[in-house]
Amino acid sequence: ARAQIGVTGLAVMGRNLARNFAHHGYTVAVHNRTPARTRELIEEFNHEGAFVPAESIEEFVAALERPRRMMIMVKAGEATDAVIDEFTPLLEPGDMIIDGGNAHFADTRRREAALRERGIHFVGTGVSGGEEGALNGPSIMPGGSVDAYAVLGPMLETISAHVDGEPCCTHIGSDGAGHFVKMVHNGIEYADMQLISEAYDLLRQVTDHTPAEIAEIFRGWNEGRLDSYLIEITADILAHTDPATGQPFIDIVADAAGQKGTGRWTVQTALDLGSPVTAIAQATFARVASSRGELRAAYRAMPGGIRPPVRHDEAARFVSQVEHALYASKVIAYDQGWTMIRDAAAEYGWDIDLGAVARIWRGGCIIRAAFLDRIRAAHAANPGLVSLLAEETFAAEIADAQVPWREVVASAAHRGVPTPAFSAALAYYDTLRAERLPAALIQGQRDYFGAHTYQRTDRPGTFHTHWAQPGRPETEV
Ligand code: NBP
């Protein structure tokens, strides 16, 4: 037994992670259900490092140093359970299974508890960055026990992306915390992608810029506070011309957005936790709505905007307003994601360092951005930070952005351009800022039809108004 780590599941992600471990000097046992994939890896990449190919699970387990450290990189769901069930009888107490697939955190909690009973460490680990990240340095979000991290942490940190010399990997918290945080990462990714797409749509429809011009605008923004991987690739996509037609690429792509489901999980889980992740929810629903062809056809003939496009000489001002609106909405979307992580930490007893989450997302993952270093710094300066808006510099920026933000959302409404995420973010801002909310009326309605009771603003206690009785008397209940 000489492999320090094993990887089973050698599709794109597993193969690239195995190569990444090998590039960093580890001896890596490699296995795949269909052995042809293992042979292919060895044929193509054996020269890159020390691999120990295994055709059977017995050979694979025998190749691993003790305590054994094996990473599962198979399709999330039933395949993960099948692989765990196959390998567990061959493992011993103290061995470690790392699941790097996109598991639902509730599955990870279940698997961790079951394996803990047998003395096996189960480390559900979020991995972000796709194929390219897996090979050259992903952002890695391991859950599981502190003891397992003491052994695995250094290896995972070594293969992760690095920013300013710091690894984009940290122990997130026990059992399913890593997969939970990865799920929220993907929810934030949905929101960021939707916000960027709304900004593009506004520049296209309200100011009549061409995709190539918008690409240049995004390149400019990428030099400022919006500097991020998603803005960078957006500029590339918008500048691309379809070779077959000579049209802008963006105009030949069908406008029905797909999804693999992590955004949906985020929204479903947010409802259970009571976390108001409205921008993430709108982004997820926007993808769903874009794909509802029959509904879109039914609405298509309805009247639209009531104002003409912005005049040409006003376009530069509008572009700057959209930058403000995009930035402010992005701060809100990220803030919502962090709120959800705090809520889950309280619910599941995870000791999550909220600043460290920002730190490990600065590199390797899809939402990597300069901005995350500021979130890291805000949490480092104030470990109890409830919201980014409770931090001075973010609060000042949002205060500065709010007028253009409102103007952009109003312009969008006037011109009939859909901005579900911009609008949701602004509504969230106004909801949390409000001195009084119409929630008071909802309490009245609930009490009226369902005797659900209410609290008063002027004295403690729980009250019910007898709405059907003359004079509508109130009693304390
Ligand atoms: P896939 O998600 O396409 O899964 C293919 C792998 O699963 C193959 O190795 C396949 O073996 C194996 N497998 C299946 Br399917 N059923 C199995 C079973 N019952 N027993 C054993 N092995 C089984 O691979 P991927 O795209 O490399 O992703 C791997 C994991 O990483 C997934 O959970 C994914 O969600 C996650 N992830 C992917 C990305 C990404 O960008 N693609 C990013 C981050 C995380 P076979 O060769 O014998 O069919």
- pLDDT single digits (tens) 314-334: 999 999 999 999 999 999 999
Confidence of residue 209 (pLDDT cuts 50, 70, 90): very high
Please tell us whether the domain made up of 439-476 is placed in CATH 1.20.5.320. Answer: yes
116 Cα–ligand 1 center, Å:
24
Q: How remote is the CA of residue 72 from the centroid of ligand 1, in Å?
A: 9
Over residues 34-69, the pLDDT tens digits come to 999 999 999 999 999 999 999 999 999 999 999 999
Residue 130 has pLDDT above 80, yes or no: yes
Nearest Cα to Cα of residue 270 among 376, 344, 165, 168: 344
Return the closest-CA partner of residue 369 out of 400, 330, 324: 330
Residue 298 clears pLDDT 70, i.e. is over it: yes
CB-based contact 76:103 (threshold 8 Å): yes
For the Cβ of 79 lying below 6 angstroms from any atom of ligand 1, the answer is yes
303: three-class secondary structure by DSSP: coil
Average pLDDT over every residue of 378-385: 94
81 in ligand 1 pocket by Cβ < 6 Å?
no
The residues near 52 (Cβ < 8 Å, ≥ 6 apart) are 2, 3, 27, 28, 29, 30, 63
**In one letter, which amino acid is 29?**
A
- Does the beta carbon of 9 lie inside 6 Å of ligand 1? yes
Calculate mean pLDDT across residues 441-460. 98
Smallest Cα–Cα separation from 155: which of 259, 17, 256? Answer: 17
**Residue 182 annotated among the catalytic residues of the structure:** yes
Per-residue pLDDT, averaged over 360-376, amounts to 96
Confidence of residue 120 (pLDDT cuts 50, 70, 90): very high
Q: Report the separation in Å between the CA atom of 46 and the middle of ligand 1, taken as the mean of its atom positions.
A: 21
Q: Using a pLDDT cut of 90, give the percent of the chain over it.
A: 97
12: Cβ below 6 Å to ligand 1?
Answer: yes
Closest CA to 323 of 397, 250, 405: 405
Per-residue pLDDT at 201 exceeds 80: yes
Indicate whether residue 74 lines ligand 1 (CB < 6 A): yes
Q: For residues 381-399, give the mean pLDDT.
A: 96
Which ligand 1 atom minimizes the distance to the CA of 14?
Answer: 27
Distances (CA, A) of 437 to 279, 283, 449: 20, 25, 20
SS3 assignment, position 222: coil
Q: Is 198 part of the annotated catalytic residue set?
A: no
Is pLDDT above 90 for 132? Answer: yes
Mean pLDDT of 76-88: 97
SS3 457: coil
pLDDT in tens, 407-434: 999 999 999 999 999 999 999 999 999 9
Q: Is any atom of ligand 1 closer than 6 Å to the C-beta of 38? A: no
Among protein residues, the one whose CA lies closest to atom 15 of ligand 1: 75
CATH number of 5-175: 3.40.50.720
Determine the distance from the C-alpha atom of residue 75 to the mean position of all C-alpha atoms in its chain, rounded to a whole number: 19
pLDDT digits (tens, 9 = 90+) for 93-119: 999 999 999 999 999 999 999 999 999
266 lines ligand 1 (CB under 6 A): no
pLDDT for 312 equals: 83
Distance 417 CA to ligand 1 centre (A): 39
- By CB neighbour count within 10 A (0-12 exposed, 13-18 middle, 19+ buried), where does 282 fall? buried
Superfamily of domain 182-433: N-(1-d-carboxylethyl)-l-norvaline Dehydrogenase; domain 2 (1.10.1040.10)
Closest of 179, 185, 145, 218 to residue 363, by C-alpha = 185
Please say if the pLDDT value at position 1 is more than 70.
Answer: no
Q: How confident is the model at residue 167 (pLDDT cuts 50, 70, 90)?
A: very high
| Average pLDDT score over residue span 354-369 | 96
pLDDT level of residue 309 (50, 70, 90 thresholds) = confident
Domain boundaries, the chain: 5-175, 182-433, 439-476
Residue 403 pLDDT exceeds 80: yes
Which two tokens mark 354? 């909220």
Contact 65, 2 (CB under 8 A): yes
SS (H, E, C) 121-177: EEEEEEEECHHHHHHHCCEEEECCCHHHHHHHHHHHHHHCCEECCEECECCCCCCCH
| Of 112, 157, 182, 198, catalytic | 182
Mean pLDDT of the 326-344 span: 98
Average pLDDT over residues 162-191: 98
Is 462 a pocket residue for ligand 1 (Cβ < 6 Å)? no
Which of 8, 12, 13, 139 best tests ligand 1's pocket when mutated (most atoms within 8 Å of CB)? Answer: 13
What pLDDT is stored for residue 313 in this prediction?
A: 87
Distance 148 CA to ligand 1 centre (A): 24
